[in-house]
A and B are shown apart, each in its own frame.
Chain A
Amino acid sequence: MEGLSGREEAVRRAVMEICEGKLGKAAVKLDGTGSVIAVRPAKNPALPRVMLAAHMDEVGLLVLSATEEGLLRFTGSGGIDPRVLISKRVKVGYGEDGIPGVIGSPPIHLQSGDDGNTAPKIENLSINIGAKDKAEAESKAPIGTPVTFATPYTPFGDGYVCAKALDDRVGVYNLLRLLDAPYDGELTLAFTSQEEVGLRGAMAAGFIVQPDIGIALEGTTANDLGETPDALKVCEPGKGPCVSFMDNSSMADRGLFRLMLEAGKAEGIDHQIKKFIAGGNDAGAIQRAGAGAKVVVLSVPCRNIHSPSSVCCLRDVDNQYLLAQATLARLMKG
């Protein structure tokens, strides 16, 4: 399923259908930025009002123009490293209307000098969709057409999977599973838009909900392969979801951070502490919405994040769900 920032409609349709099926139409709202906000009213209003958030959007590319030769110029949508793009297959447009494309690069035989040692610039790359000229390219892929990585969902190894958009469809998946999590306080499940371009959906959703506690379910950077020193690995797939004490967008509430770690320990759910300060996510926006909220982030470690081939461990995905649920149970105990 495709869902660039601001173009989350396909994911949103699926999410809304599931939410409405479980909670009824009246409980599910769509806000102005395109986030889906599903609210479960409190059975016990004395409990903290909790907002769980996962973002529906993924990183990708946007068509900027077509060349005389019928190639598509493009720009990144969200954080894109041009080095991961060369010779990759992409899908131009969404769903059944989408057409295949491939990102071109000069063959190695014709490269010279420093070409092999320098990172390509995104403005020098183009997508070939087989169009013979500008007119055909523009008719097939008008300016602004969303482009996503054409990577099939591929299980491999011992419970691992390679796919695009694991950041943050893993969180969306678990948020849907948490629709019937046992929690007696007011519980909001926010499927946010536009996280990858600056936490924009969560800013609005956070303001609308103004919860006491915000928990972001995310996919996060794992840098554990190769000769990376231990201190820079951030986290390691297969060792459980990451609890963050701080990133560039928020500081975890210390009490909430400890509560989540204790919940994991007590229930025997594998987890790890995210051991580097990098990136930001919806918790940063929720923390600062309105009069403020206590926040913490629980993330599935993803190798090659923001690339066509991100890799995560399905056990970590399950444990993200279990630990989120165990955290809610602890909050309920007070």
Chain B
Amino acid sequence: MKELIKQLTAVYGPSGSEGSVADLIESLVKDHVDSIRRDALGNLICERKGNGKKRLMLAAHMDHIGLIVTHAEKEGFLRVSAVGGISINHSRARRVKFQNGVEGVLYEQALKENEKSALTTLYIDIGAKDAGEALSMVEIGDVAVYAEAAFDVGKSRIASPAIDDRAACALLIELLKNLPADSCDIIAVFTTQEEVGVRGATVSAFSVAPDEGIALDVTVAGDIPELKLNAVKLGEGPAVKIKDARSISNPEVVRRMLAAARAAGVACQREVLPYGGTDAGAMQLSRGGMPVGTLSIPCRYVHSACETIDLGDMDGALKLLKEYVRM
């Protein structure tokens, strides 16, 4: 699993530019599914026939957050805006990279007295001497992402700027490779544009029209100093989402997830997130509506360059899902 996460996080793929991630995933799952297609928004939709009892859509998003170039200054600095929930605090003095390999330093301009930090006070220095040179290296509308490669943290943890949500992509790939023989029909959708408003899941849920939808995503772990957000901890198993700002999980889905954890003999946690949302929010409202839930991977430092998860939680999530698809 660790190597797969490293492989997936190494690929460039901010919201709207998920094509390379989709290519990699397609190559990894094509022998394990009955059909694969892509839609207008770039969603990778993989179907695998099962026992026919239920058509279950499992969604993991391929995109992650980034910084989009809006302007090149005379001096060659690039002005940017956010693609998804970029934190200014996590963005100062960061190494960033573009799709074409250009790298740069993301920094903040000197602030005047009482001037507040904003996206408009950030810039990227790509080593260009003027606007002309800068625009010969990247174009307006190109997106930079935090450049860090994935790295090990301690014995069982891994950090990367793209853990959200490539970790869940890895989980879904592993599930497709290890589906039990008596699984229900699975439509695995590797979605696009989640970070800008669950857009890929909105349209793929419509075209797939499943009986039930489960999002696989990371959630904010509340176990770091002075954060009293929620009770979710790293290393204590995957989290069954009860509610976030975009969806309330169907109680029957929650019950079955908890039962699947017991059947698999894995620890799991219950999660209530006072904000945020996952692809479940889009699936829930598709067509005439459907029961949805989210299985979360606890994650520290979400939307930073060092999103950190525990591989034990990933293994637990995989075992839980292998039971769930039989229910």
By a beta-carbon cutoff of 8 Å, the part of chain A in contact with chain B is: 212, 230-232, 245-246, 250-254, 257, 273, 275-277, 287-294
CA distance A275 to B207 in the complex (A): 33
Identify the closest chain A residue to B15 (Cβ).
A251
Whether A277 pairs with B199 at a CB distance below 8 angstroms is no
Whether B206 pairs with A245 at a CB distance below 8 angstroms is no
Whether A275 pairs with B199 at a CB distance below 8 angstroms is no
Determine how close the nearest CB of chain A comes to the CB of B238; give it in whole angstroms: 29
CA distance A288 to B207 in the complex (A): 11
Determine how close the nearest CB of chain B comes to the CB of A91; give it in whole angstroms: 37
Determine how close the nearest CB of chain A comes to the CB of B152; give it in whole angstroms: 33
B226-276 interface (Cβ within 8 A of A): none
> Contacts A231-B120, A254-B17 hold; do A275 and B70 have CB atoms under 8 A apart?
yes
CA distance A276 to B119 in the complex (A): 11
Whether B196 pairs with A251 at a CB distance below 8 angstroms is yes
By a beta-carbon cutoff of 8 Å, the part of chain B in contact with chain A is: 15-17, 39-41, 43, 68, 70-71, 73-74, 79, 81-83, 120, 140-141, 193, 196, 199-200, 202-204, 206-207
CA distance A254 to B14 in the complex (A): 12
CA distance A250 to B16 in the complex (A): 10
Whether B16 pairs with A246 at a CB distance below 8 angstroms is yes
Contacting B140 at CB < 8 Å: which of A275, A289, A290, A293?
A275
> Contacts A231-B120, A251-B193, A273-B141 hold; do A292 and B39 have CB atoms under 8 A apart?
yes
Which B residues are CB-close (under 8 A) to A252? 16, 141
Whether A292 pairs with B203 at a CB distance below 8 angstroms is yes
Identify the closest chain B residue to A243 (Cβ).
B141
Whether B203 pairs with A291 at a CB distance below 8 angstroms is yes
Determine how close the nearest CB of chain A comes to the CB of B112; give it in whole angstroms: 13
- Residue of B41, B82, B196, B202 with most chain A CB atoms under a 10 A cut-off: B41
Which A residues are CB-close (under 8 A) to B40? 212, 253, 291-294
> Contacts A246-B83, A254-B17 hold; do A288 and B68 have CB atoms under 8 A apart?
no
Determine how close the nearest CB of chain B comes to the CB of A22; give it in whole angstroms: 29
CA distance A238 to B116 in the complex (A): 33
Whether A245 pairs with B141 at a CB distance below 8 angstroms is yes
Determine how close the nearest CB of chain A comes to the CB of B175; give it in whole angstroms: 24
Which B residues are CB-close (under 8 A) to A230? 71, 73-74
Whether B202 pairs with A288 at a CB distance below 8 angstroms is yes
Whether A273 pairs with B140 at a CB distance below 8 angstroms is yes
Which A residues are CB-close (under 8 A) to B141? 245-246, 252, 257, 273
Identify the closest chain B residue to A292 (Cβ).
B203
Kindly list 12 other residue pairs between chains A and B, CB separation below 8 angstroms, not including A246-B83, A251-B83, A288-B199.
A230-B74, A231-B120, A245-B141, A251-B15, A252-B141, A257-B141, A275-B70, A287-B203, A291-B40, A291-B203, A292-B39, A292-B206
CA distance A250 to B41 in the complex (A): 11
Which B residues are CB-close (under 8 A) to A290? 203, 206-207
Whether B16 pairs with A292 at a CB distance below 8 angstroms is no
> Contacts A246-B68, A277-B81, A290-B206 hold; do A232 and B120 have CB atoms under 8 A apart?
yes
Determine how close the nearest CB of chain B comes to the CB of A294; give it in whole angstroms: 5
Whether A251 pairs with B73 at a CB distance below 8 angstroms is no
- Residue of B43, B70, B140, B141 with most chain A CB atoms under a 10 A cut-off: B141
Which B residues are CB-close (under 8 A) to A254? 16-17
Which A residues are CB-close (under 8 A) to B81? 246, 276-277
Cβ contacts A to B, 20 pairs, < 8 Å: A231-B70, A245-B140, A246-B83, A251-B196, A251-B199, A253-B40, A254-B16, A273-B141, A275-B71, A276-B70, A288-B202, A290-B207, A291-B39, A291-B40, A292-B41, A292-B43, A292-B200, A292-B207, A294-B40, A294-B41
Determine how close the nearest CB of chain B comes to the CB of A225; give it in whole angstroms: 17
Whether B71 pairs with A231 at a CB distance below 8 angstroms is yes
Determine how close the nearest CB of chain A comes to the CB of B176; give it in whole angstroms: 22
CA distance A273 to B70 in the complex (A): 9
CA distance A196 to B39 in the complex (A): 29
CA distance A195 to B203 in the complex (A): 21
Whether B70 pairs with A251 at a CB distance below 8 angstroms is no
Determine how close the nearest CB of chain B comes to the CB of A258; give it in whole angstroms: 9
> Contacts A245-B140, A245-B141, A276-B81 hold; do A291 and B206 have CB atoms under 8 A apart?
yes
Whether B204 pairs with A292 at a CB distance below 8 angstroms is yes
Whether B68 pairs with A231 at a CB distance below 8 angstroms is no
> Contacts A246-B16, A273-B140, A275-B70 hold; do A291 and B207 have CB atoms under 8 A apart?
yes
CA distance A191 to B34 in the complex (A): 41
Identify the closest chain B residue to A245 (Cβ).
B141
Determine how close the nearest CB of chain B comes to the CB of A29; give it in whole angstroms: 22
Which A residues are CB-close (under 8 A) to B39? 291-292
CA distance A288 to B125 in the complex (A): 35
Identify the closest chain B residue to A272 (Cβ).
B140
Whether A287 pairs with B79 at a CB distance below 8 angstroms is no
CA distance A257 to B142 in the complex (A): 12
Determine how close the nearest CB of chain B comes to the CB of A207; give it in whole angstroms: 9
Which A residues are CB-close (under 8 A) to B196? 251
Determine how close the nearest CB of chain B comes to the CB of A42; give it in whole angstroms: 18
CA distance A276 to B140 in the complex (A): 10
Whether B41 pairs with A287 at a CB distance below 8 angstroms is yes
Determine how close the nearest CB of chain A comes to the CB of B174; give it in whole angstroms: 27
Determine how close the nearest CB of chain B comes to the CB of A106; give it in whole angstroms: 31
Q: Which 9 pairs from chain A and chain B are nearest by CB?
A: A292-B203, A245-B141, A291-B207, A251-B16, A231-B79, A231-B71, A277-B81, A292-B40, A292-B41
